[in-house]
Structure 1
Amino acid sequence: MAKHDQFDDFFGDDDSSPVVDTRAEGRLLRVPLPRLAPNQVNPRIDFGTEDELIDLGKSLLRRQIQACPAVSRSAYLKLWPDHAKSIGDVDYVLVTGERRYRGATAVGNPTLNCVVDDGLAKDRKTFMDAVVSENVDRQNFNPIEEAYAVQALVTEFGSNRAVAQHFERADGWVTQRILLTHLAPDAQDLVRKKAMPLDAARSLGKLARDNAWDSPKQLAWWNDEQKQRATASAHRSAARKAVKRAAKTLAAPKQLTTAKPDETEQQADPFYGRKTLTIHGGGDAANPSAPNETTHEKHVPDPRPASQPAETTAAAAFDSWHSGAALMDAAISNLSPSERSNFILRYFHVSSGVEAVIEDMRGTLAAEDRTSLAVILQQVAHGLQR
């Protein structure tokens, strides 16, 4: 028994574990290419361009780091006896590694290193799992190849859920991929070339499956979808630009359009208890009481009763005069009759709706005042119709 060291427990190593000879189950062989054939159930169809295969073959001539898993001809034909003619008179059949096989063939490489393990051909489910897993786990398939690979697994495993559980994925992972198998060849080519995004491809696959759409209908749908996506993208872009412009406007310093102010006063507002800014400019310096044409202040009458002392605190003023209706009276007391009509009409237009306003107003009125409200509303409705 090998000696333990202080790192065994930390790393989980166990020097006493026996070394197992697995040659009976997995033999590393250098197999001549004429004695080797790809399997006939590989869902992968895109192996790269001719130049890419030549580059791979030259790399394999220098060094083949990863051996190709394979099974004996007899083990393979037990699963698919009807493939005897297609694989020919060979000794071994590849499980994965067909791209390496094609690359070696492209440069005339005479052999390929293989690990032969007939345990991979125990049954069709085990074989297909070995064929597909390497590519799915490593994301080597394009989306269409992956779709057909998953479909082949469903055939062997019996259900979408069984495949999802085997790969520890959600059930939707299987369904979304199989939808791509319902696309017409022209639509699948768009997916392979990344000219159609996967979300659109899956939506189209579902429509094609549910409605039995042929290729022209699928391509017509994609043309309409592209227009809708372009319009939506343009709207999003315009909205982003509008937000940026608004943010820039808000960040810009405010500029007064009046003459340069020569006097600034801060006066205490007796009603709200806060400071109000009054700017004077262009007045008669010799006569401070003269009207100032550039002032921004417009007189609004104090809504408090005349008997209320001017020095009353803001809180006291608010307590003694808190009616919303009275505030509205104060706001419009300086308006002409025509301006008041426009004000009322504008209020109804910008509010959440006439019905909501009526309910709001009724909630603040006594029963005897509601008759007056009905008369007022009739007048306002007449004004709106005009």
Structure 2
Amino acid sequence: MAKHDEFDDFFGDEDDTPVVDTRADGRLLRVPLRRLAPNLVNPRIDFGTEAELIDLGKSLLRRQIQACPAVSRSAYLKLWSDHAERIGDVDYVLVTGERRYRGATAAGSPTLNCVVDDGLAKDRKTFMEAVVSENVDRQNFNPIEEAYAVQSLVAEFGSNRAVAQHFERVDGWVTQRILLTHLASEAQDLVRTKAMPLDAARSLGKLARDNAWDGPKQLAWWADEQKQRATASAERSAAKKAGKASAIPKPLTGVKRAGAQQEADQFYGRKTVSTGTVPGEPQVAAQQAVISAAGEGAGPRPSDEPAHQNRVPDPRPAGKEVETAGVTSDGPWHSGAALMDAAVERLSPSERSKFVLRYFQVSSGVDAVIEDMRGTLTVEDRSSLAVILQQIASGLLR
């Protein structure tokens, strides 16, 4: 039992598991590359470019942190006796770490650190699980390599479900990967280079399996699929642009503009001028009323009636003063409309234009629309929206 002292009590460390020497089953050795060979059942075929392998090899020359798992030559040949001539006269066979082996070879490194454990060669199932699991768990395979790796596991485990349960995945995880093995080499190259997305590759793999399609038929299907995807993408873009356009209010014309003018009259406490004109035609008197609201210059209100007769009636009891020191109901503060009249009369023409535009934005809900669309509008869209709002303001002031 490991030594126990007061530090263990203080930190709550009650782990008495002893350190075990595992050299009988797992020995760390520095193996010369000439006495070492990669296994011949590794589904991985993409190990990187020559330059990448040289960089890896130089890194291993400085320090190899992760040792490569390996088995003895005799243990490996018990599983695949027909590989004897191909692996040559070596002492050990790699389980994983072929990329490190290739990198060390490319950089001229003489040795590679290996952990030798013949328990990994207990049977083919155990060996293949060790070969594949590291790459699958760490996602070091490209999709095609992963497909053939999973296929090799199915051959050893006996069924898709057995493999899925071993790796704690759903059955579909195995099926979807094996579908890629039915692709022709040309289609597989498209998947490796990411020119064909995985969803399309799996659909094509199923069609190729069920219909026994050869390479040309598979490529023809992909060409047609690309056209359909491009069309669908264009339709989505058009629908998105149409949605943005419908959210922007159109300039008011005809009766709608006249209605907006009447709302402005009510806001400023003016009488609405009835013109009797045909709907849609310019209503001169109403336009003059809007101009009088915005004002062409400071001065008295152009009205034959006293100004107080055009104001909104005061809802408070007669004679009650505003509860503000020095301000009574006789001043312009007795109603919102009178206060706005007083403010407008003191604005320059350009300020009046901004004032009317701002009122329209708030009263019509344009502000809320702009805020909703702010995150989706491009700079060009915002510029177009600004122009439309200016047109609206001009329509109200004409």
Aligned to 1:64: 64
Mapping of residues 210-289 of structure 1, within 5 Å: 210-247=210-247, 249-250=248-249, 256-258=256-258, 261=261, 280-281=272-273, 283=275
Residue 92 of structure 1 aligns with which residue?
92
Q: CA deviation at 1:258?
A: 3.9
State how 1:157-176 maps to structure 2 within 5 Å: 157-176=157-176
SS in 1 for 2:93: strand
What's the counterpart of residue 112 of structure 1?
112
**CA 1:7 to 1:170, structure 2 compared with 1: closer, same or farther past 3 Å?**
farther
Shift of 1:257: 3.4
Alignment partner, residue 54 of structure 1: 54
Q: Give the structure-1-normalised TM-score.
A: 0.67
Sort the Cα spacing of 1:75 and 1:237 in 2 relative to 1 into closer, same or farther, 3 A.
same
2:16 maps to 1:2: no
**Against the structure 1 CA distance between its residues 6 and 144, is the aligned structure 2 distance closer, same or farther, given a 3 Å change threshold?**
same
With over 3 angstroms needed to count, the CA separation of the structure-2 counterparts of 1:260 and 1:233, relative to structure 1, is closer
In the alignment of these two chains, the number of paired residues is: 275
The answer for the alignment partner of 1:196 in structure 2 is: 196
Q: What's the offset of the Cα at 1:18?
A: 1.2
Calculate percent identity across the aligned residue pairs. Answer: 78
1:90-128 C-alpha deviation (Å, 9 max, x unpaired):
000000000000000001100000000000000000000
In structure 1, the residue corresponding to 2:213 is in which secondary structure?
Answer: coil
The list of structure 1 runs, each at least 4 consecutive aligned residues, that deviate by more than 6 angstroms after superposition, is 6-11, 262-266
Match of residue 130 from structure 1: 130
Q: Aligned pair in 2 of structure 1 residues 293, 206: CA closer, same or farther (>3 Å)?
A: closer
Query: 1: distance between equivalents of 2:164 and 2:261?
Result: 76
Structure 2: distance between partners of 1:171 and 1:3: 48
Partner of 1:21: 21
Give, in angstroms, the shift of residue 14 of structure 1. 3.6
The CA deviation at 1:253 is 7.6
What is the deviation of 1:293? 4.8
* Cα distance in 1 between the residues matched to 2:198 and 2:150: 16
Letter in 2 for 1:44: R
TM-score, structure 2 normalization: 0.65
Q: State how far apart, in whole Å, the 2-side matches of 1:8 and 1:32 are.
A: 47
In 2, Cα distance between the equivalents of 1:155 and 1:182?
16
In 2, Cα distance between equivalents of 1:112 and 1:30: 6
> Any conservation in 2 of the 1:259–1:294 contact (CA below 8 Å)?
no
Seen in structure 2, the aligned counterparts of structure 1 residues 23 and 262 have a Cα distance that, compared at 3 Å, is closer
Q: Is the 8 A contact 1:151 1:178 kept in 2?
A: yes
1:76–1:246 CA distance, 2 compared to 1 (3 A): same
Where relative contact order (Cα < 8 A, 6+ residues apart) is larger, the structure is 2
Aligned-residue offset at 1:261 = 3.9
CA apart distance, 1:263: 8.2
Q: Give the drift of 1:167.
A: 0.1
Sort the Cα spacing of 1:92 and 1:246 in 2 relative to 1 into closer, same or farther, 3 A. same
The Cα offsets for residues 250-279 of structure 1, whole Å up to 9 and x where unpaired, read as 4x785643498478788xxxxxxxxxxxx9
Query: Alpha carbons of 1:6 and 1:111: their partners in 2 closer, same or farther (altered >3 Å)?
Result: closer
Following superposition, the deviation at residue 196 of structure 1 comes to 0.2
Considering only aligned residues, what root-mean-square deviation do their CA atoms show, in Å? 2.6
1:44-66 deviation line (CA, Å, top 9, x unaligned)? 00000011001111111111110
| Residue in structure 2 matched with residue 144 of structure 1 by the alignment | 144
Deviations 1:174-199 (A, max 9, x none): 00000000000000000000000000
User: 8 Å contact 2:8–2:14 — kept in the other structure?
Assistant: no
- The gaps in structure 2 that reach 5 residues or longer are 282-398
Q: For the residues of structure 1 that align with 2:59 and 2:27, how far apart are their CA atoms?
A: 23
Q: Whole-Å Cα distance in 1 between the matches of residues 273 and 164 of structure 2?
A: 79
Which whole-Å CA distance do the structure 2 matches of 1:90 and 1:263 have between them? 95
Any stretches of 5+ residues in structure 1 without a counterpart? 267-278, 284-290, 297-386
1:295 shift after superposition: 9.4
Q: Please give the per-residue CA displacement for 1:319-361, whole angstroms capped at 9, x wherever unaligned.
A: xxxxxxxxxxxxxxxxxxxxxxxxxxxxxxxxxxxxxxxxxxx
Structure 1 CA distance for aligned equivalents of residues 43 and 24 of structure 2: 29
Aligned residue for 2:333?
A: none
2:140 alignment partner, SS class:
coil
